[in-house]
Amino acid sequence: MTFRQYAEKWLSTQTTDMTTRESVDSAIRGHAIRYLGPRPLGSFKPEHIRDWLAVPASSYRRVIYNSVSTVLNAAVDDGHLTKNPCHAQSVRPPAAGAGRIVPWGAERVFAVRAALPERYHATVDLGGGCGLRQGEIFGLPVEGINFDSGWLHVANQVKVTKAGLVFAPPKRNKERDIPLPARVAHVLKQHMDTFSPVDVTLPWLRPDGPPVTKRLLFTRLDWAGAVRRTDFNDRSWKPALVAAGIIPAPKLGERHQAAREHGMHALRHFYASVLLDAGENVKALSNYLGHNDPGFTIRVYTHLMPSSDTRARKAVDSLYGARALSLTHGAK
């Protein structure tokens, strides 16, 4: 049995949620099988993994590697291998990523906003001013905005599947309420006056799921349908990055360069940096961002928090200053 045969069989048995399955399927079929597919499963050695890792690959190589390792773990369980070659000491997994997040500055945020089609200006305000994810922005219905109370309720998103778009709950099924700043509320009202919300019907959770209708703030440029993030990224977001001087213009006949660190998620990082700089506590920020664990929020954004050493100096100086003052008055 080859790696291709076993991996395809393994993929057919997965019972995780649809979006996760499609992500793993893309990593295995689109990248790993291309290089590892013909090799007999029982012949795998650490050198084969090292050779594979030496081949230039996708920027998602860590994700692809983890998926391959999971398949080979299953092969060990099923008796096709005695040990997983990905676990050998001589095999170094791809680096986890770029390290610390460097948030955009306000000037860059507003430069990208200005370069987007007018229909999508307010998407930047929802990402940078409320911390919504891309799918949550495209799936935000009118009913989720409470202008009177000053809150947004995030209860669904638009997801891309192989069979088309669906409505789905937010990531990790975590519905949440987010403070709606007055300026963002004003922008949303203006947007709705200029671009009337549209009723959009999509299946719920799966392509064969029950149809659900939402009155959405954002629709496609060419027709009144839900926005597909891949189309938006290629046709609107990346050209705006070029106009803002963040990525170079593509050469004739070529596509825009990959810009994962400059995707729409950068707006959430900007939102987090603004709130932390203003002194917002991590637990509240974690809830607004839809994280399950405030500890995760701390790990991602701890370097953006106001410096604790400055606070420590001020606290001790204040204590000693008060003490010295009392001693001075006592001496008098």
Give tens-digit pLDDT for 162-218: 889 999 999 989 999 999 999 999 999 999 999 999 999 999 999 999 999 999 999
Looking at the fold, whether 71 and 140 belong to one and the same domain comes out as no
Domain boundary among 87, 116, 138: 87
- 329 found inside a domain: no
Looking at the fold, whether 60 and 121 belong to one and the same domain comes out as no
Q: First CA to last CA across the chain, in angstroms?
A: 93
Tokens of 321: 């200053």
Looking at the fold, whether 46 and 114 belong to one and the same domain comes out as no
pLDDT given for residue 26 in this prediction: 79
Looking at the fold, whether 112 and 200 belong to one and the same domain comes out as yes
Domain boundary among 52, 87, 122: 87
Looking at the fold, whether 174 and 144 belong to one and the same domain comes out as yes
- 80 found inside a domain: yes
Looking at the fold, whether 209 and 138 belong to one and the same domain comes out as yes
- 39 found inside a domain: yes
- 271 found inside a domain: yes
pLDDT given for residue 41 in this prediction: 93
Residue 74 belongs to a domain with what CATH number? Answer: 1.10.150.130
- 317 found inside a domain: no
Residue 270 belongs to a domain with what CATH number? Answer: 1.10.443.10
- 98 found inside a domain: no
Looking at the fold, whether 127 and 82 belong to one and the same domain comes out as no
Looking at the fold, whether 118 and 61 belong to one and the same domain comes out as no
What separation in angstroms does the CA of 303 have from each of 95, 240, 283?
A: 20, 28, 16
Q: For residues 102 and 56, what is the distance between their CA atoms, to the nearest angstrom?
A: 26
Of the candidates 311, 302, 268, which has an alpha carbon nearest to the alpha carbon of residue 282? Answer: 302
Residues of the chain with pLDDT under 70: 17-19, 56-60, 96-99, 306-315, 317-319, 321-332
- 319 found inside a domain: no
Looking at the fold, whether 150 and 276 belong to one and the same domain comes out as yes
- 15 found inside a domain: yes
Looking at the fold, whether 112 and 224 belong to one and the same domain comes out as yes
Domain count, the chain: 2
Q: For residues 221 and 119, what is the distance between their CA atoms, to the nearest angstrom?
A: 8
pLDDT given for residue 305 in this prediction: 73
- Which residues constitute the domain of residue 250? 106-292
Three-state secondary structure string covering the chain:
CEHHHHHHHHHHCCCCCHHHHHHHHHHHHHHHHHHHCCCEHHHCCHHHHHHHHCCCCCCCHHHHHHHHHHHHHHHHHCCCCCCCHHHCCCCCCCCCCCCCCCCCCHHHHHHHHHHCCHHHHHHHHHHHHHCCCHHHHHCCEHHHEECCCCEEEECCEEEEECCEEEEECCHHHCCEEEECCHHHHHHHHHHHHHCCCEEEEEEECCCCCCEEEEEECCCCCCCCCCCCHHHHHHHHHHHHHHHCCCCCCCCCCCCCCCCHHHCCCHHHHHHHHHHHHCCCCHHHHHHHHCCCCHHHHHHHHHHHCCCHHHHHHHHHHHHHHHHHHHHHHHHC
Task: Indicate yes or no: pTM above 0.85.
Answer: no
Residue carrying structure tokens 């664990």:
293
Looking at the fold, whether 43 and 143 belong to one and the same domain comes out as no
Looking at the fold, whether 9 and 61 belong to one and the same domain comes out as yes
